[in-house]
Amino acid sequence: MELGQKFPLTIKRLGINGEGVGFYKRNVVFVKGALPGEEVTVKVSKVQRSFAEAEILNVRKASKDRQEPSCPVYNECGGCQLQHLTYDGQLKEKRDMVIQSLEKYVKSVADTADIRPTIGMDNPWHYRNKSSFQVRKEGKRVYAGLYSEGTNKLLNINDCAVQHPLTSKITVATRKILQKLNISIYDGKTLDGLVRTIVVRTAIHTNETQVCLVTTRKDIPHKAELIERMLKIDPSIVSITQNINREKTSLIFGDETTLLHGKETIHEKLGELAFDLSTRAFFQLNPEQTVHLYNEIKKAAELTGKEKVVDAYCGVGTIGLWLAPKAKEVRGMDVVPESIDDAKKNACNHGLKHARYYTGTAEEWLAKWKREGFTPDVVTVDPPRTGLAPSFIKTVMQIKPKRFVYTSCNPSTFAKDLQELTKIYKVDYIQPVDMFPQTARVEIVAKLTLKNK
């Protein structure tokens, strides 16, 4: 294949980034915006050794699941990848993405495991409880939004179709206040300026909101007036914080967070549980689907009240506390100290004295506890997109918990990890859950049980 080459293509499936996948003379071709079953004419835009990328010139035969995206900047933004696919179609394709990952790395699991239909949402819009919008300035105007896919052009976004409306309202109002007070804005090229990101997290069930300004240094001009104006945006704002990030990095937060006004944390509920969330603490972005996700984890754990449970990569303790009422003992660990502080408070607030939390890596603590005579019956994990650390997998395979409940937001790294885990574990079933409608991301809960010797 050559750059600029044009040819007809039949799309066979969706790739992990939501692009259409077809085959031309045995070469894999990725086509952004194309859907399975479609016949399209494409033009090659990039050629690599093992694949090519192409753009659609025209759709000769459209999928019955194709629809018009509702977002005006959908094609530029890249934050969503599947708005042009009906929601029923999204749920079906997300299950298929899981199967594709398994076929690539652990075909035996793809052939034998029970891979269930994706659990979706009744209303798959405006579900995200947290936004992190970059702030930039053009002329005298301050913008807040996301970068256009593959560029350093910032799209000013006033109303995001997947964000909770309150986060959009507060972000827009905050950027206007920054502009009015002429507070300097970070420049990604020169690295000059003060404010780089506006982060808003709202608690859906308690109507408490926290706003964080990520800045390059501590001193904020007109700070008192800035806070006064921000508090007038919406009565739900009970916490305003500042995080300092001096580095040239794509990471949003630095290590230092200070309170500018109100409470250190906001309060949120999930089912029967309530949680206090500090600025940097991890918490699921879709509370409605999180209840479904955690109930699936509880189902897979099969607790009877006698089990010792370890909640690795525990964040603020949400999963462990969800399981605690039916567990004999829960221990959790995380490398972020603030998250462990929140987890301890959350356990204390619920009177769950048998749930304890520790700062550090899961493999360090599991090895230490094994030496002390503590071996868990159930280990549950919800790691970052990079998957499990090889050292953690090695430790799990040494201590051999009876059940291993793997929650993943990345089917590819999940499938890679199964290459090792399936040496001693059987995959009973995999349950996809749609935590991020309109995007190509899919969450899964897998129940693994120790094989008989």
pLDDT digits (tens, 9 = 90+) for 9-36: 999 999 989 999 999 988 999 999 999 9
Given this model, what pLDDT does residue 148 score?
Answer: 86
Taking the CA atoms of 291, 296, 300 and 305 in sequence, report the sign of the dihedral they define. positive
pLDDT greater than 90 at residue 216: yes
- Our CA angle for 419, 379, 323, nearest 5°, is 135
Query: Whole-angstrom Cα distance, residue 298 to residue 320?
Result: 10
Residue at 290: amino acid letter: T
Segment 420-445 mean pLDDT: 97
Beta strand ranges found along 167-319 (DSSP E): 195-203, 208-215, 237-244, 256-262, 266-270, 273-277, 308-312
pLDDT greater than 80 at residue 318: yes
pLDDT over 90, % of the chain: 85
Q: What is the pLDDT of residues 144-195, one digit of tens each?
A: 999 888 788 899 999 999 999 999 999 999 999 999 999 999 998 888 999 9
* Known catalytic residue at 409: yes
Number of residues that make up the chain = 453
How much is the mean pLDDT over the chain? 94
Query: Whole-angstrom Cα distance, residue 331 to residue 343?
Result: 11
Q: What is the pLDDT of residues 391-416, one digit of tens each?
A: 999 999 999 999 999 999 999 999 99
Q: List the catalytic residue out of 71, 77, 212, 409.
A: 409
How much is the pTM?
A: 0.90
Given this model, what pLDDT does residue 453 score?
Answer: 60
Q: How confident is the model at residue 97 (pLDDT cuts 50, 70, 90)?
A: very high
